[in-house]
Structure 1
Amino acid sequence: MGALSALIVGPCVAGPLAGALLYISQTGNAVTGGGALFAMACGMSVPLLLTGLSAGSLLPRAGGWMNNVKKIFGLLLIATAIWMISPVLPVTANMALWGAFAILCAAFLRVGEAVAQGAGLGGYASKALGVLFLLAGLFELIGAASSGQDVLQPLAHLRGGAPSGTAATSTDATSTAHGGPRFTRIRTLAELDAALASTDKPVMLDFYADWCVSCKEMERMTFPSQPVRSAMQGMHLLQVDVTANNADDKALMKRFQLFGPPGIILFDASGKEVPQARVIGYMPPERFLRQLQRAAG
């Protein structure tokens, strides 16, 4: 299970790991680089070790109330399993799993039973929460059955227009979700060189993959920002989908010394890469806007 978890969770640490490896390769300082990797490992593992060491003294005593705690943590483990496997599943499968999970939560809250006499405010709150879980689960299942493309907005595609998934793909272009910009897809180094040679405005090259969590965070929280969208309108937007990780994908990543997505390379109007303007990993709108402004000169 640890090995399988590493395969799924690995892309989540690609950004900071790539930064540490790039620092080592550029500075040649193996001691500092090794210390950075060791500090990163400690940051990921020490909280778990402290929790294990303190469990006997910090946790309250066992009792009948622990039965409810056991159920809650059981549901949290199921939710964690769905969240961990979600990057490698289609969106509709994720929606179906989350819908089933929400209905399971409603069942544990006994949504189908009447509120007991004298239950008080807690009983009614539990009933209301169960109804909300039931409705959320039904919405997710309906969205999955109707080819929805957004777990957080399962019925948004029923309003008409393009689906609001991670990408509405076509042969040459994609438009990101949630009102984001439109990218032109490239597949080879030759296509990239041709695009850079023919441009008369700054270029943004986005490395994307369906399993990349940070890529989807950029699509959901950074690209739709109005200042960012305005800045990107004056740029030639290119995107490389490295989901398949084929030979062309590897060649493109090797050219820019990327270990994997997410990675955004910015070029000026002459087609030359802007120094120190790369974006590795998720970046909030305010910082990303400054990078775009640097590329625009």
Structure 2
Amino acid sequence: LLPHAAFFNLSRLEKYLDDVLTIDDFEELYEKKGVDFHVVATEVDYPRKAIFGRHRSPWIGTDEDDFYRDRYLDNCTISRAVRASCSLPGLFAPTEVDGVQYYDGEIKKVLSTHVAKEHGADLILVSHTFTPYIRNGNMGSIAEMGIFSLVTQAIYTILYQKIQTPKEAHIQIKNLYEYVESEEFRRKYRNLSREERSELLSDIAEKLDFNPDLKYIFFPSPNETFFMDHFNMLPFATRELINSGYTVAQEVLPMHGLKKLPEYEEQGILQRRGLKRFR
């Protein structure tokens, strides 16, 4: 096993996407559909991310370039970019793009929400399966469920904390921003004029890279998702994950004031197809 990078490769996934996608080019997708789509992977030989899409970082190949700086790249089809992003090390072999090897986009940083933020998004929906198991009376302890469940719990706990850190930072900066806007701040620093307060808010937003209009919605994973087969790409396995995510979205989105499109008010996307679940 030592000479081989992994047990499997994802060439068939790439071929499948190439066959079913009506548009397999990032630029064409934007021009025809208005979708500025990005796929994140990680370079194997350098500790930096590749953000595949229709953009290219202008400083690539200049003195500003270095081995740690993440870069936007436009040299890849959508199907190959997805293959690279899904190449989980050890399980699936890395994917080559223009002589450079790439693997899983989560390696350097879990969830690349900054990509949407950098392109002016004011609402970012974050869905993932990295929620640790929460013990309840029906299921018992992870320690009793075998080594695979125990290792998965440890990994998910680490990843979940990495997800929470930027989320908590955004909340802290937002609290600071709202405090400067508050009546309490005005009373305490009454010598500041309205223009000076406005300038202070602008400085906070600029220095801390904060967008006061940006909102994140995180979709938690239920306990059942923890025990699903995340690395199985056969239809019966992926179907369970899709249905779980769909159910959670149905519950979470209305809590944030998001409503269904009028055409789906009476019947949801599943009901309109005569289904109770995705199949």
After TM superposition, is the score higher than 0.5?
Answer: no
**TM-score normalised by length of structure 1:** 0.24
TM-score w.r.t. the length of structure 2 is 0.25
Larger relative CO (CA 8 A, sep 6+): 1 or 2?
1
Greater share of helix = 1
* Larger CA Rg, structure 1 vs 2: 1
